[in-house]
Amino acid sequence: MLVTLGLLVALHIILSRFLSFNAWNMKIGLTFIATFAGAYFYGPLAGAIVGGLGDFLGAILFPIGAYFPGFTLNCALTGLVFGLLLYKKQSPLRVVIAAVIDQVGISMWITPLWISILYGSPYWPLIVTRLPQIGVMLVAEIVVLFVMIKVMDRVKKAGSIEEKEPPKDERRELRKSRIAARNALTPEERAEKSRAICEKVLASDEYRNAKRVLIYSAIRGEVSLSVLENDPSAKEKEIAYPLVLGARQMIALVPNGEEGMVEGFHGIKEPDRNNSREIAPEDFDLIICPCTAFDEQLGRMGMGAGYYDTYLEACKNARIVAVAFECQKADSVMRQEWDKPMDKVFTEDRIYG
């Protein structure tokens, strides 16, 4: 990792100092490529380090005008934005938002402030003169980011960038310990905590604004969603349940009343496919997932069968949250490349995210 980050810092310096067009109030180049690569492979902090350190060292080793720490801060912020929005969770919308924040938020509004302080120039005219640059760079950045994501996905899959995979035994033991922790709750405790969790979900914007919601029937000590199912607000929404079809395959069905739910595998209540209506993954507004463990970084660990991992990839328009008891929290769930992070995690004590 350190070697890769060092190379990306060097690339940042080369792109910034030798392959960019620089004027006192304008800079057109592809410096963001190095910053994004650091954020893509290693997260927000790595992206900020590549951007900030690359700008600082470049200014010291190959100065172009006076050094000002505000510009270094901008580069670090760009890496942070890329990491927060695009680390292990890329989508076309996230790419566009990241580019807009970088070019419009940072380059158009913050950079002129530093130039104004450094040279004593009026702030608003500086913004106007930068508009052509912002227009060109915004389009270029969006296009290049899309291309880079496709290329780096292939690089990662080919193994050119090493990603340490935690031993399966560690994940297995973590899953086992957190299942044991939730199973240790008494039925009364589980019911009380499940109610508290459901009340938090019912009060959330994610739930209130959703028209189509995928939930689940609790088994083996999972958080019960019965309070949510029986809440009057549920009648105003389309509430769907998962139905497993085979290996890593499931669909979501809205049962036609109580008769639409039947006893399935292991006695689990599930929708009857012949008496239910299917909803496509992309049509959901909210997905509420069960989990065996979670962490404060919004990582989720399931049962290991991969049903949700596969299904969530197709839920492009939904907010995806998990519900869990506080006793299921771990320092890290050792998230894998295919594990989709949650937007929020609801427990009886707090809401993460």
Q: Would you list the DSSP string of 180-233?
A: HHHHTS-HHHHHHHHHHHHHHHHHSHHHHT-SEEE-----TTPPP-HHHHTSGG
Q: What is the pLDDT of residues 278-325, one digit of tens each?
A: 999 999 999 999 999 999 999 999 988 888 988 999 999 999 999 999
Residues found in the chain: 353
In this structure, are residues 212 and 287 in contact, taking their beta carbons and an 8 Å threshold? Answer: no
* 87-104 per-position pLDDT tens digit: 877 788 999 999 999 999
Instruction: State the Cα–Cα distance between residues 228 and 230, nearest whole angstrom.
Output: 5
Last-in-domain residue among 120, 138, 158: 158
Residue 266 lies in a domain: yes
Confidence of residue 166 (pLDDT cuts 50, 70, 90): low
**111 and 173, same structural domain?**
no
How many domains does the chain fold into?
2
**Is residue 164 situated within a structural domain?**
no
The per-residue pLDDT for 162 is 47
**Final residue of a structural domain among 158, 185, 204:** 158
Are both 139 and 193 inside the same structural domain?
Answer: no
Residues 56-75 have a mean pLDDT of 90
Residue 62 sits in which domain range?
2-158
CATH of the domain at 115: 1.10.1760.20
Q: Is 43 helix (H, G, I), strand (E, B) or coil?
A: coil
Please, which residues have CB within 8 angstroms of residue 139's CB and are 6 or more apart in sequence? none
Q: Check which CATH number belongs to the domain holding 265 and give it.
A: 3.40.50.10420
Query: Is the same domain home to 42 and 92?
Result: yes
Choose the final residue of a domain: 126, 158, 190.
158
19 domain residue, yes or no: yes
Q: How far apart are CA 290 and CA 223, in angstroms?
A: 7
Q: Say whether both 189 and 333 belong to one domain.
A: yes
Residue 163 lies in a domain: no
In sequence order, what are the residues at sequence separation of 6 or more whose Cβ sits closer than 8 angstroms to the Cβ of residue 150?
Answer: none
